[in-house]
Chain A
Amino acid sequence: NAGVTQTPKFQVLKTGQSMTLQCAQDMNHNSMYWYRQDPGMGLRLIYYSASEGTTDKGEVPNGYNVSRLNKREFSLRLESAAPSQTSVYFCASHTGTVNTEAFFGQGTRLTVV
């Protein structure tokens, strides 16, 4: 069972470079999320997509863009990476109905130098 798959697992970028983090889920879930996790802090919501074709800002959207390519895939793009974006990024999905839980990918560890 694949669940939620994120790529890449590790990435080092130079300041100003761009990259896209990929996320795919095979559970036919409607809602998908991108979080970042920083040392000593919890998971902060960057963007989410309640259903295919919709995206909304979370708590910390600045510096990021997202695309809900189809029901399975939700990508996160850094157009011009900054050292403050060094973090571990987690993608998650859930069915979209109220009484269900979210499932997480393994994370992408991003370092911006």
Chain B
Amino acid sequence: GQQLNQSPQSMFIQEGEDVSMNCTSSSIFNTWLWYKQDPGEGPVLLIALYKAGELTSNGRLTAQFGITRKDSFLNISASIPSDVGIYFCAGQDADKVIFGPGTSLSVIP
């Protein structure tokens, strides 16, 4: 079946540092999504990517849809304490949204 892999699994960074995380897939997706989940909450959409090669920004967040359609990355610049959480990538085809295992981010003030 379709599988997504995310790296790194977890990160500890100093406040103010930039962060980069990746997502790869064994399958091609038409849409890539990045979500953030805070403790005790449901995932919240950060960025949606709809075209191969697309580079999209949302404030301090930048994400790219890989040209092969099998990967995506998310960058966070100048991290702040509220960036703490689990970041999930998700690939969407016609019917399903499949999630990666997540990258846990901790920001040290």
A and B from one complex? yes
A positions within 8 Å CB-CB of B: 4, 31, 33, 35, 40-45, 48, 50, 56, 58-59, 90, 92, 94, 98-107
Quick one: which of A31, A43, A50, A94 contacts B88, CB cutoff 8 A?
A: A43
Is there an interface contact between B42 and A48, defined as CB atoms closer than 8 Å? Answer: no
Q: How far is the CB of B23 from chain A (nearest CB, A)?
A: 11
Quick one: which of A33, A56, A103, A106 contacts B45, CB cutoff 8 A?
A: A103
Q: What is the 8 Å Cβ interface bit string for chain B, positions 10-35, against chain A (1 contact, 0 not)?
A: 00000000000000000000110101
Is there an interface contact between A102 and B97, defined as CB atoms closer than 8 Å? Answer: yes
List B contacts of A43 (CB < 8 A). 43, 88, 99
How many residues of B sit at the interface, in one of the four size bands? 20 to 34
Q: What is the 8 Å Cβ interface bit string for chain B, positions 41-53, against chain A (1 contact, 0 not)?
A: 1111100101000
Quick one: which of A31, A42, A58, A105 contacts B42, CB cutoff 8 A?
A: A105
Is there an interface contact between A48 and B95, defined as CB atoms closer than 8 Å? Answer: yes
Q: Which residue of A lies closest to B44 (CB)?
A: A104
Q: What is the 8 Å Cβ interface bit string for chain B, positions 33-71, against chain A (1 contact, 0 not)?
A: 101000011111100101000000000000000000000
Q: How far is the CB of A13 from chain B (nearest CB, A)?
A: 20
Is there an interface contact between B95 and A45, defined as CB atoms closer than 8 Å? Answer: no
Interchain CA distance A31-B98 in the complex, whole Å: 14
Interchain CA distance A69-B54 in the complex, whole Å: 38
Is there an interface contact between B42 and A107, defined as CB atoms closer than 8 Å? Answer: yes
Q: How far is the CB of B12 from chain A (nearest CB, A)?
A: 16
- With A33-B97, A42-B100, A101-B48 as known contacts, state yes or no: A106 contacts B1, CB within 8 Å: no
- With A42-B101, A59-B1 as known contacts, state yes or no: A101 contacts B45, CB within 8 Å: yes
Is there an interface contact between A104 and B30, defined as CB atoms closer than 8 Å? Answer: no
Interface residue? B92 (CB, 8 A): yes
Most B Cβ at <10 Å: residue of A40, A41, A105: A40
Interchain CA distance A98-B96 in the complex, whole Å: 10
